[in-house]
Amino acid sequence: MSMASIKFIKRTSFLTSSQFSSHLHRWIDSSSRNKPPVTSSGRFGTVYGGRQLHTAASISSDQLSTEAPSRQELNFPGGSVKFTSKRIFISGSNEERAHCYRVLNENGELVIDNDLLKITKELAVKMYTNMATLQVIDTIFYEAQRQGRISFYLTTTGEEAINIASAAALSNNDFVFPQYREPGVLLWRGFTLQEFANQLFGNKHDYGKGRQMHVHYGSKKHNYVTVSSPIATQIPQAVGAAYSMKMEKQDSCTITYFGDGSSSEGDFHAGLNFSAVMEVPVIFFCRNNGWAISTPISDQLRGDGIVVRGKAYGIPSIRVDGNDALAVYSAVYEARKMAIENQTPVLIEALTYRVGHHSTSDDSTKYRPVDEIEWWRNDQSPVKRFRKWIENKGWWSNDNESQHRSNIRKELAQAVQNAERTQKPPVADMFNNVYDVSPKNLNEQKESLRKTLKQHAKEYPSNVPW
Amino acid sequence: MWGILRQKVGDTGLSPQGLGNQMLRLRPATSAVRDYSAATKEMTVRDALNSALDEEMAADPNVYVMGEEVGEYQGAYKITKGLLDKFGPERVVDTPITEAGFAGIGVGSAYHGLRPVIEFMTFNFSMQAIDHVINSAAKSNYMSAGQINVPIVFRGPNGPAAGVGAQHSQCYGAWYGSVPGLKVLVPYSSEDARGLLKAAIRDPDPVVFLENELLYGESFPVSAEALDSSFTLPIGKAKIEREGKDVTITAFSKMVGYALKAAEILEKEGINAEVINLRSIRPLDRATINASVRKTNRLVTVEEGFPQHGIGAEICASVVEDSFGYLDAPVERIAGADVPTPYAANLERMAFPQIEDIVRAVKRACYRSV
């Protein structure tokens, strides 16, 4: 992935949509009074639907061809547009790609000191420890899958900054519509190691009652909508929830995460387009990590990534270095403010790299070079970079590091043991929540199953409770 | 800001809204002026749906309507007429052309506590959004173990109309009826339309509400009870439209009317048919159907949809499972022809059940004896 071709910028600057919408409003205002839209050159009267209505001072055709100034612009449906006599096609590919906002370089040094939101030691340390915890979680659960203790897992390796820093910039009332590579957001909001383990082992404490695939976490109390497998469906749903917030005039927004692959789905188009029309407070956070399972970004799209699509929909957008926790934090912080104060959608594209395999069912060395993976894992590691920064500030030390990681490892190992030993959810629960109130036919089936289990107890596993 | 713009456009007489009003005044008065002396009033299905939406939106500020043409245009079939004026653009939302988009947005807003009524211009277009209906709306309560409930209603015309071709004529009762987590309703009369739509909107589960375009203009008597704003019908209960003792005919939506007419013809030939208006495909009222078959011993199912894996197939299986010993003849299934709906009027007529088909099937069921 040629990251070298993107320039970094140090300032948050969103491409605005206000210019676009003001044209729209002007046209609607004028047409509602049933007057033909007035153009800037009044000499030839008005142009309405292609017909030219000449004024009393009509001009002869000679004058038309030699002296007449050409019409400057026209009120088409959608707004006033200036004319040009230069036949220039807007290029499909930019010479220069949209710049990427970055604050910390790979050495953990601030590139420039202005624009940075004041981040306290407490917040920075909390961000770092969560990023480190996320790494430990990924390592241990991945190994658990390899040991056959759980059947599936997917890691967030390389995207720890995206997970934690974005969550840190939000408030707990903001509704999160994740894809599946954002458990860090849940971790930040207080989901415990035990709760993660319970979901993965599908035991009776799992909030999903063992009905979901692994890593499909969900928690109502943390305002984190349960992960849904079909790709990109969360995008228009986040817009709908934002609409609900707008109607209730709440001081909150929704955020939805999705990858570069999701941006190809129809739902992406519908969600972004619609959010701009409805003017709702939603943050679209695209994790452009370069890979959709084995599909590289060059096979996924041919434009300049996802950030440039925002302007097409009338949405302010920014491209951010996804491996820079401070840049992600600052961009999401600002985006949230914009979304709520202006009731507008905002698009953030975080460029990063999916260091891990797509999931435990994937071996990415089969379709990409190992040294590429290792370079991103080591040289661009968001965790290492942020650690250098907080260590330089004197807020963290090697001792802190080893202590924190060993504590989390112990705690997590214990959580895994507990989760493994805990009973599975009761079979009777299988029939609940299909509807709000269980219908008669399901109750009949449940009763029928209960009788069958009792009668043929020998043929069913003995450790699964009723 | 959006709301203010809409008010301005609506001011002029030449707006779609103004035209709509004029067009309504030119409608034939047959539905409005009949039977002043009768105790019951008459109401079209269209007005029944409109009044139900109106009342539910007035009663609960979380209820809102979303779909293509529902606002300014007063609804593609005028079901949402007048609602934009009354409740404003925040609660009657006109959408760009993206079923996947607005179905997804509706589901997302329901996750957060609103009660959307999503209109598909026809359920044929719901296929573009079907992932949201099934994988998100239907399954979320279960897959989140009760943390997310989705009090959403998807409504719109279903099945064939008249001369609209294959991509506008399919019946989706069987498709949605097979999904656990959904409730699927199929009103026939105005009373059905009012009571079931109000029940659907109040229901905490996702409901697929399958209407019929040709029934919108049809008038039915409605009781005073049905006109009350608290009137609802129970979901999952079929209605015996006509009692009989010789044969049970099950039908839903427009076919109920056909079955009733067939029953009148059969009466003259000495066959006393019981007609069941299913009202609800999921949950299916197996109890009522089986009780009726146990009484009559013969069953004919009628539907407009494709025959394979259809509603009739499910009803037949249910009766065979529960009332096999009571059947005096094999179950007769009448369904649409197993072809994409042709457009030419003569071919279209042959592609869907007609009253004669029902009469013939009943006779077949009656002249076979065990």
Q: Say if the Cβ atoms of A243 and B109 lie within 8 Å.
A: yes
For residue B283, cis peptide bond before it (omega within 30 degrees of 0): yes
Chain B closest CA to A358's CA: distance in Å? 22
In angstroms, rounded to a whole number, what is the distance separating the alpha carbons of residues B182 and B137? 8
At residue A14 the predicted structure's pLDDT band, cuts being 50, 70 and 90, is low
**Interface check B105 vs A, CB under 8 A:** yes
pLDDT at site A395: 96
Q: Which of residues 195-254 of B touch A (CB under 8 A)?
A: 203-205, 236
Q: Say if the Cβ atoms of A220 and B183 lie within 8 Å.
A: no
pLDDT at site A10: 57
Q: Tell me the Ramachandran region of residue B48: left when phi exceeds 0, alpha when psi lies from -120 to 50, beta otherwise.
A: alpha
- Do residues B183 and B207 lie in contact, with contact meaning Cβ atoms separated by under 8 Å? yes
Q: Say if the Cβ atoms of B109 and A244 lie within 8 Å.
A: yes
pLDDT at site B274: 98
Checking if the pLDDT of A3 tops 50, the result is no
Q: Which of residues 24-53 of B touch A (CB under 8 A)?
A: none
Residues of B in contact with A225 (CB under 8 A): 111, 148
**Interface check A291 vs B, CB under 8 A:** no
Residues of B in contact with A438 (CB under 8 A): none
Q: To 10 degrees, the CA torsion angle through B4, B6, B8, B10?
A: -150
Residues of B in contact with A277 (CB under 8 A): 96
DSSP code of residue A211: -
**Interface check A422 vs B, CB under 8 A:** no
What percent of chain A stands above pLDDT 90?
Answer: 73
Q: Say if the Cβ atoms of B147 and A274 lie within 8 Å.
A: no
Residues of B in contact with A236 (CB under 8 A): 100-105, 107-108, 132
What are the tens digits of pLDDT across the range A172-216? 999 999 999 999 999 999 999 999 999 999 999 999 998 888 999
Angle between helices A266-278 and B99-111 (to 10 degrees): 70
pLDDT at site A7: 66
Chain B closest CA to A343's CA: distance in Å? 11
Residues of B in contact with A25 (CB under 8 A): 1, 5
Q: What is the mean pLDDT of residues A268-277?
A: 96
What are the tens digits of pLDDT across the range A243-272? 999 999 989 999 999 999 999 999 999 999
Q: How many CB atoms lie within 10 A of CB A125?
A: 16
Chain A closest CA to B300's CA: distance in Å? 23
Quick check: is B168 catalytic?
yes
C-alpha angle A427-A429-A433 in degrees, rounded to nearest 5:
145
Catalytic residue among B55, B56, B99, B274: B99
At residue A72 the predicted structure's pLDDT band, cuts being 50, 70 and 90, is confident
**Interface check B9 vs A, CB under 8 A:** yes
What percent of chain A stands above pLDDT 70?
Answer: 84
Catalytic residue among A40, A151, A229, A448: A229
Q: Say if the Cβ atoms of A279 and B1 lie within 8 Å.
A: yes
- Do residues B155 and B123 lie in contact, with contact meaning Cβ atoms separated by under 8 Å? no
Question: Nearest residue on chain A to B97, judged by CA atoms?
Answer: A270
Mean pLDDT estimate for chain A: 87
Q: What is the predicted ipTM?
A: 0.74
Chain B closest CA to A143's CA: distance in Å? 26
- Do residues B155 and B80 lie in contact, with contact meaning Cβ atoms separated by under 8 Å? no
Q: Which of residues 177-216 of A touch B (CB under 8 A)?
A: 177, 206-209, 211-212, 216
- Which is nearest to B193 in space by CA: B34, B52, B89? B52
Quick check: is A265 catalytic?
no
Of A28, A212, A216, the CB nearest to B9: A28
Q: How many CB atoms lie within 10 A of CB A466?
A: 10
Residues of A in contact with B104 (CB under 8 A): 233, 235-237, 239-240, 267, 270-271
* Those residues with Cβ within 8 angstroms of residue B340's Cβ, 6 or more apart along the chain or in another chain: B166
Q: Say if the Cβ atoms of B102 and A433 lie within 8 Å.
A: no
At residue A5 the predicted structure's pLDDT band, cuts being 50, 70 and 90, is low
pLDDT at site A9: 64
pLDDT at site B173: 97
Interface mutation target, options B14, B131, B143, B289, chain A, most CBs of A under 10 Å: B143
Low-confidence stretches of chain B (pLDDT beneath 50): 1-37, 369-370
In angstroms, rounded to a whole number, what is the distance separating the alpha carbons of residues B290 and B323? 6
- Do residues A321 and A348 lie in contact, with contact meaning Cβ atoms separated by under 8 Å? no
**Interface check A426 vs B, CB under 8 A:** no
Checking if the pLDDT of A56 tops 60, the result is no
Interface mutation target, options B63, B125, B147, chain A, most CBs of A under 10 Å: B147
Question: Nearest residue on chain A to B118, judged by CA atoms?
Answer: A240
Q: What backbone torsions phi and psi does residue A274 show, to the nearest 5 degrees? A: -65, -40
Q: What is the mean pLDDT of residues A425-431?
A: 90
**Interface check B131 vs A, CB under 8 A:** yes
Q: What is the mean pLDDT of residues A286-311?
A: 94
Residues of B in contact with A33 (CB under 8 A): 12
What are the tens digits of pLDDT across the range A307-337? 999 999 999 999 999 999 999 999 999 999 9
Q: Say if the Cβ atoms of A271 and B105 lie within 8 Å.
A: yes
Among A29-38, A74-83, A342-351, A432-441, the range scoring the smallest mean pLDDT is A29-38
**Interface check A266 vs B, CB under 8 A:** yes
Of A208, A235, A248, the CB nearest to B145: A208
The encoded tokens of residue A197 equal 């383990």
In angstroms, rounded to a whole number, what is the distance separating the alpha carbons of residues B370 and B367? 10
pLDDT at site B258: 98
pLDDT at site A464: 79
Q: Say if the Cβ atoms of B9 and A433 lie within 8 Å.
A: no
Q: Kind of pairing, strands B153-157 and A73-76?
A: unpaired
Q: Which of residues 283-302 of B touch A (CB under 8 A)?
A: 283, 286
Checking if the pLDDT of A49 tops 80, the result is no
Q: Say if the Cβ atoms of B181 and A435 lie within 8 Å.
A: yes
What are the tens digits of pLDDT across the range A152-173? 999 999 999 999 999 999 999 9
Q: Say if the Cβ atoms of A237 and B95 lie within 8 Å.
A: no
CA B214 to chain centre: 11
What are the tens digits of pLDDT across the range A218-243? 999 999 999 999 999 999 999 999 99
pLDDT at site A186: 97
pLDDT at site A41: 39
In angstroms, rounded to a whole number, what is the distance separating the alpha carbons of residues B289 and B277? 10
pLDDT at site A47: 38
**Interface check B147 vs A, CB under 8 A:** yes
